[in-house]
Structure 1
Amino acid sequence: MAAIAAGMVVPVQARLNGELSHRLDDGIAAAAISFLGGLILLSILAVCSPGLRGALRRLAGAARDGRLPRRYLLAGVLGGTFALAQSTASLVTGIAVFTVAAIAGQTLGGLIVDARGIGGGLKQHPGSARLAGAAVILVAAIVSALPRFSDTPSPATIILPAIAAIAAGFLLGVQQALNGASTAASGSPLAATWLNFCVGAVFLIAAWGVKTLVQGTSGHPVPTHWWAYLGGLCGVVFIGASAFLVHRIGVLLLSMASIAGQLASSITLDFLAPSGGHSPSVLTIVGALLTFAAVWIASRRPRDITERQ
């Protein structure tokens, strides 16, 4: 339930970042500002919290003495890569194809990461329940996106961006595993979250700088509405909760539960404040219900079948 609740903040973040991107006419700038906002919030918390400062020191010490591989410190780049894919590939593929491709990547990533124990988690080999749950959630993603496929460009133009979306979804699963390792080393999911936002902000600001040098600025004024900058807070909640939960339930179940939460929250938002004037369709609701069924299937522990851990 906690993973589902964490996933529910993602559509809110997407709405906020989408509005910021629209007002700036620059998706990369919006992603960079979102990460920077999250970093500022966590840095203020670190200044006020001796416990978080101590956790950050333990994280740095674990990296120095080799208890935490230093490459794990770059997990924020993987999150930044997903944010870049959202702001670029989705413009070519359309939201429907991007969503399905990203969910496919997350599901594949969850299966592989759990099976290999990447990030120091327990190895969870794909049993029949986990494979069935993964298959159902892919079906759910396709069903929920069917009403929007009519807006998708021709297949020939979206193959490479769709592959990029699959890769970005896969990397998101790897990021969650690495965040779990950082949480274990520091004793605090907030320390892992701060590190993610620090590295991700640097990565996205660099990408924004390169784009500006090549294409120049959009020339749009910076929005003055304070709520447009709350995407970073949503990201802090999601990444922090994921870092706390990943070693407890595994990457696959975490990804599937958060996807269920995302779809449920998206439907609620579309009922309360429809995007583009479109209310959720019956197929979208059916797809959301299927995701909850997929989470239940994947989390089952049959008495007569013991999955290898």
Structure 2
Amino acid sequence: MSEHAKSVVVPANPSAVVWNASRVAVLLVATVAAGTLSPLQSAVNGALGSTVGDGNAAAVVSFGTGLLIMTAVVSVHRRWRAQALRLPQLMRSGTLGWWNYLAGLCGAAVVLSEGVSVGSLGVAVFQISLICGLIISGVVCDRIGVTTAVPQLLSGVRILGAGLAVVATAVAISPNFHVPHAIFLVALPFGAGLLAGWQPAGNAAVAQHSGSLIVAIAFNFLVGFVVLSAGLLIRLGVGTAHFSLPAVWWMYTGGALGLLSIGLMALLVRGLGLLLLGLASIAGQLLGSLLFNGAVPGTYAPLHVVTVVGTVLALAAAGIAAIPARTNGHRAGAAR
């Protein structure tokens, strides 16, 4: 037998290969579809903010509905109830850094920015700004080892991805410079994205010590609701805010949409892994932002060509920034 013949590898079962490829394709499509829930949530919370006339009040309503759902979920399971009751003890003992309990503030910042910004910017520009903040945050958090087991080096490719995210934001908002306080309105979702890049690490730490991701998510909503409510109560006390409940039922679905998105991503990551999940979900968010831009009453904003260009640039930035850097001659692991 020749050396060439010895090196021939018998291919795997062709039907199994086709099945695996088909399975991945289905999961990718499902993840893209699940990713559209984020801009839909932004549209709902943006419409809520426009209707009640106060982004802080809208965020309280959205977080409040999410907290009610999670409280009901935790309450029905004895083990989850026990794990939730352990959290005060963990906090007193100092076994977990106090900053990990503040992950809910990241989600609160996102929801607050939705209530304030979406009505003026539109869903598409809001999502581009948010995602670009997330991309930069992901690169920084990976570098300092917050989100990965091995810190990722700041390679030229990853810096390019972060830089492209800034360009994408600038391109997307360029038609909105005539909007009053446009820079501030864009800075809100961009800054929220910078914070939200760390949120999964905080939630994961709480989940590890409490023994339940469900409990960590519920606590996430509790922290966000308390902080947002405190801010609203202070503003009501000094007369700079007002609070009213909308009469339209679907404006109360923001919290449920956020929870549905979290649940679907938790299921889909098992079949795709973090890298493919992250890219597919971002693609879904950007596609959904174009679809839902102005589709929900109270969130209309004209869709410019440069907004579409910014969407493409943001997706390219996400793909580039997700390329793992090399550490000690080996791949350091998947990026965000």
Q: Same fold (TM over 0.5)?
A: yes
After TM superposition, give the deviation of residue 159 of structure 1 in Å: 5.9
How many angstroms apart in 1 are the aligned matches of 2:39 and 2:119?
20
Cα deviation for residue 202 of structure 1 reads 0.7
Task: Find 1:113's aligned residue among 141, 145, 152.
Answer: 141
1:127-166, aligned counterparts within 5 Å?
Answer: 127-146=155-174, 148-153=175-180, 166=190
Partner of 1:30: 58
Distance 1:217 1:68, change over 3 A: closer
SS of 1:68's partner is coil
1:116 is displaced (CA, Å) by 1.1
1:175 aligns with 2:199: yes
Aligned to 1:213: 237
- Contact between 1:102 and 1:166, CA under 8 Å: does it hold in 2? yes
**Offset of residue 21 of structure 1:** 1.9
Q: 1:81 aligns with which of 106, 109, 117?
A: 109
Paired residue for 1:291?
Answer: 314
Q: Tell me if structure 2 keeps the 8 A contact 1:55–1:187.
A: yes
Give the secondary structure class of the aligned counterpart of 1:224.
Answer: coil
**Counterpart amino acid of 1:48?**
V
Deviation at 1:20, TM superposition (A): 1.9
Rate the CA distance shift 1:108–1:296 in 2: closer, same or farther, 3 A.
Answer: closer
Shift of 1:31: 0.4
Q: What is the match of residue 186 of structure 1?
A: 210
Deviations 1:10-58 (A, max 9, x none): 2111221122222222211110011011000011111122343344356
After superposition, the Cα gap between the structure-2 partners of 1:288 and 1:54, relative to the gap in structure 1 and judged at 3 Å, is: farther
Kept after mapping to 1: 8 A contact 2:135/2:321: no
SS in structure 1 of the partner of residue 293 of structure 2 = helix
Structure 1 residues 6, 60: closer, same or farther in 2, change over 3 A? farther
What SS does structure 1 have at the residue aligned with 2:96?
Answer: coil
Number of the residue aligned with 2:73: 45
Q: 1:12 aligns with which of 30, 37, 40?
A: 40
Identity rate of aligned residues, in percent?
Answer: 33
> Is the 1:270–1:280 Cα contact (8 Å) retained in structure 2?
yes
Question: What is the aligned partner in structure 1 of residue 293 from structure 2?
Answer: 270
Number of corresponding residues: 299
Distance 1:276 1:78, change over 3 A: closer
- Measured at CA, do residues 13 and 114 of structure 1 come closer, stay the same or move farther in structure 2, by a change above 3 Å? same
Q: Select the residue among 189, 204, 221 that pairs with 1:197.
A: 221
- Inter-partner Cα distance in structure 2 for 1:39 and 1:72: 18
Instruction: Answer whether contact 1:260 1:288 (CA < 8 A) is retained.
Output: no
Q: Which moved more, 1:67-76 or 1:77-86?
A: 77-86
Deviates more, 1:196-205 or 1:287-296: 287-296
Task: Give unmatched runs, 5+ long, in structure 2.
Answer: 1-27
Q: How far does the alpha carbon of each residue in 1:137-195 deviate from its partner, in whole angstroms, 9 at most, with x for none?
A: 3333334444x325334xxx666666565443322222232112223333433222101
Structure 2 distance, partners of 1:136, 1:35, is: 32
Contact 1:109 1:169 in 2 (8 A): yes
Greater C-alpha Rg? 2
- 8 Å contact from structure 1 (residues 93, 162) kept in 2: no
Q: CA deviation at 1:82?
A: 3.7
Q: More deviation in 225-234 or 124-133?
A: 124-133
